[in-house]
A and B are shown apart, each in its own frame.
Chain A
Amino acid sequence: MASIHTRGLVKKYGSLTVLHGLDLEIPDHELVVLVGPSGCGKSTLLRVLAGLEAIDEGDLFIGEDRVNDIPAAKRDIAMVFQDYALYPHMTVRQNMAFALEMRGMARGEIKERVEKAAALLAIEPYLDRRPKALSGGQRQRVAMGRAIVRNPRVFLFDEPLSNLDARLRTQVRAEIKTLSQQLRTTMVFVTHDQVEAMTMADRIVVMKSGVIQQVGSPEDVYETPANLFVAGFIGSPSMNFFPASVENDGLKLADGRTVAVGDRVQAAATAHRGKPLILGVRPEHFRVAPDAAGALSVEITLVEPLGSDTLIHFKVGDAEAIARVEPDLRPKVGDVIALAPSPEKAHLFEEKSGALIC
């Protein structure tokens, strides 16, 4: 078990810089999720941590050790790959025992560890099968078992749920989280799925174009996103963004209408008078208003009933927007409805830099 610490980490492929001087602190025992869109550098960062990619600049510490020049084989980390990367010519038992054999562990202890990990993951019946005789979910467990038996300092997961169907993904997601609580080992998990990130992480690292945008707990990044990118990436459906300017009694939107946003946002907006601003409201932070005063009177263009709640689509100027409402409202396409942003939950961003104002 160990913490991970990067300082000014740079990774380049030829002239292309993929990681731009990352400073990141991952404390011991934490489950940290690296999340971001394709090409943001999250998998590259994981591979750098694993020792599968060389570091061009900066430092990487695992525990107290600077591991820049230490090969993957000697970093004492375990990794679960996206395609599981099980050895096809070995049985499940041999797959799980392989890393221990490489370390010269006694046979008795190997047997004991493999059986203990197999029991933990409920894969005992498959120990003498080859990977090709297993389902996707079983292979996924074996890949985790192969990592667990080693009792490594750090676990790395590279999008291990992406090949599973939706039901199994939810199940395995919960299992990994339970496992992290049982094993109390530092885990770094890569995903492009923000739901996975939110549900599993102790802390989330949001990345874009090789730069860390925000590090925080799931609640932090959801409630206080550092910028427009994080605000748009975290949350499903995404936060709605409305270009706005300051008026005395609220914010004036692009279509000329004024919306009341409460004292907190209004004060912040007034402090930025004259600058182009973006009002950000999550779909679940609209409330249905009794009348149109200070609210947005909108025409519903699409209704998506989800059972527990209903998503309604509408337009403000040219901007498409979504609100989450109670299913009992039974909205219909073409209905006109008054929606008001929750004053406590609405956000304001600088349009130019994208930075959060409040």
Chain B
Amino acid sequence: MSHTVASNRWTGALNIFLLVLAGVVSLTPMAWMVLSSFKASFEVTAYPPTVIFSPTLENYATLWERTPFLHYAFNSMVVTVSSTALGIILGAPAAFVASWTRVTWPAVLTLAARMAPGTLFLLPWYIMFRQFDMIGSYWALILTHAVITMPIVIWVLLPFFDNIPRSIYEAAQVDGCSPLRIFFRIGLPLVAGGLAVSSILAFVFSWNFFLFALVLSNSDTKTLIAASFNFIGEGSTNWGALMAAATLIALPPLVLAIVVQRWLISGLTLGAVKG
């Protein structure tokens, strides 16, 4: 009995240690980023790094004065929200059909496309969008980002749909539902948790995706993440402004994740484990 209690205590301590370790590893770069955004230029790259300093909003002022930050933020929002919506519009029915028919190879194919390096698509896409005179348009970015968001939606939703007992679909069939109605009236409401999880993940991935925006946007449609690249020059880099930009860019996904974190975690585990 006492052996079990001692063993549990050790396991608990080990768990706490590992959690703290994971927290330190993942939060240190973020803390560094946020602190650096409030440092003066000379302090950002100072070695050893300073922890105690006089905070300044100089970097945020630079960001505001030298770049149309709000415009870029608007672009990011348009591209991210639209590509997330497109990912859900295409991915949710795809996941439903893959689960219903138990034919998952198309889903595997989308995952393979997601896993391939983005540079693989860049040249063909660039040529294709140029052909249609779409370079620099929102649509070029939205469509390419949907390649990121759709597989996420499919793969998050698949286990959620799989967890719905088949007899419920069959009951709906017998009750007079067409497959489309079964999807909207039965399937979708029962995977609402998964829909929330997949939307958030798709939003975060699309918001942070850099490569396609760098090549396929222009000054009117540039997203925040691509615009932040402007602070990295050939001769020198304005690290302070870059950190300020990175802090602001990280805010929306962070706020979103904090607001829905309970739903996010329970949704992810539900979809994966519940039999």
Give the interface of A toward B (CB within 8 A).
50-52, 71-75, 77-79, 81-83, 85-89, 98-99, 102-103, 146, 150
- Chain B residues with Cβ under 8 A from A78's Cβ? 174
Interface centre among A50, A72, A103 (most CB of B within 10 A): A72
Interface pair A73/B168, CB less than 8 Å apart: no
- Chain B residues with Cβ under 8 A from A102's Cβ? 175-177, 181
- Chain A residues with Cβ under 8 A from B170's Cβ? 50, 52, 72, 79, 81, 85
Interface pair A87/B176, CB less than 8 Å apart: no
B179 → chain A closest CB, angstroms? 9
Give the interface of B toward A (CB within 8 A).
165, 167-168, 170-178, 181, 185-186, 189-190
**How many CB-defined contacts (below 8 Å) exist between A and B?**
59
Interface centre among A71, A73, A77 (most CB of B within 10 A): A73
Q: Which of B165, B167, B174, B189 contacts A73 (CB 8 A)?
A: B174
Q: Which of A72, A83, A87 contacts B173 (CB 8 A)?
A: A72
Q: Give the distance in Å from the alpha carbon of A50 to the alpha carbon of B171 in the complex.
A: 10
- Chain A residues with Cβ under 8 A from B178's Cβ? 73
Interface pair B174/A72, CB less than 8 Å apart: yes
- Chain B residues with Cβ under 8 A from A50's Cβ? 170, 174
Interface pair A73/B177, CB less than 8 Å apart: yes
Q: Can you name 14 A-B residue pairings with CB atoms under 8 Å?
A: A52-B174, A72-B170, A72-B174, A73-B174, A73-B176, A78-B174, A79-B174, A85-B168, A85-B170, A86-B168, A98-B172, A102-B176, A102-B177, A146-B175
Q: A88-B190, A89-B190, A102-B181 are in contact. Are A81 and B173 (CB under 8 A)?
A: no
A85 → chain B closest CB, angstroms? 4
Interface pair B167/A83, CB less than 8 Å apart: yes
Interface pair A85/B176, CB less than 8 Å apart: no
Question: Chain A residue with minimal CB distance to B173?
Answer: A72
Known interface pairs A88-B168, A103-B176; 13 further A-B residue pairs with C-beta atoms within 8 A, sorted by A's residue number: A50-B174, A73-B173, A73-B174, A73-B175, A73-B178, A77-B174, A79-B174, A85-B168, A88-B190, A89-B189, A98-B175, A102-B176, A102-B181
- Chain A residues with Cβ under 8 A from B165's Cβ? 83, 85
- Chain A residues with Cβ under 8 A from B186's Cβ? 87
- Chain B residues with Cβ under 8 A from A88's Cβ? 168, 190
Interface pair A81/B167, CB less than 8 Å apart: yes
List the 6 closest A-B pairs by CB distance, nearest first. A99-B175, A102-B176, A85-B167, A85-B171, A72-B173, A81-B167
Question: Chain B residue with minimal CB distance to A78?
Answer: B174
Interface pair A79/B171, CB less than 8 Å apart: yes
B139 → chain A closest CB, angstroms? 35
- Chain B residues with Cβ under 8 A from A103's Cβ? 176
Q: Give the distance in Å from the alpha carbon of A81 to the alpha carbon of B174 in the complex.
A: 11
Question: Chain B residue with minimal CB distance to A82?
Answer: B167
Q: Give the distance in Å from the alpha carbon of A89 to the alpha carbon of B190 in the complex.
A: 7
Q: Give the distance in Å from the alpha carbon of A71 to the alpha carbon of B178 in the complex.
A: 9
Q: Give the distance in Å from the alpha carbon of A82 to the alpha carbon of B172 in the complex.
A: 15
- Chain B residues with Cβ under 8 A from A72's Cβ? 170, 173-174
B47 → chain A closest CB, angstroms? 58
